[in-house]
Structure 1
Amino acid sequence: MVDAERQAIEVRKNMARLRAAREAKEAADEAVRLALPAPALKKRSKKPTR
């Protein structure tokens, strides 16, 4: 019983650590995305005439 509780605590700690790492990565990715200029829209190529 004590072992199961200890394992549950370890799992929750690990999940919190992973969540923090993911949120930090998402924030960094968002900062990079905002720093870069918006991608230019591609112009449609004209279809060749037959």
Structure 2
Amino acid sequence: MVAVANSRGRGDVIALLRSRGADPMAANAYGSTPRGTAELVANYEYRTALC
């Protein structure tokens, strides 16, 4: 999900992507998911937007 909105506090971008059908559990070629990345960086806003 655009590397969790480029990890720059863009919860609004995450919400927009979700509203357009982006899947927070879609894995990239390395098996990483946007939700997993949000949990890794421990960003509350990202985790809430992706759950």
- TM-score w.r.t. the length of structure 1 is 0.24
Q: Relative to total residues, which structure has the larger helix share, 1 or 2?
A: 1
- TM-score w.r.t. the length of structure 2 is 0.24
- Greater RCO (CA < 8 Å, at least 6 residues apart): 2
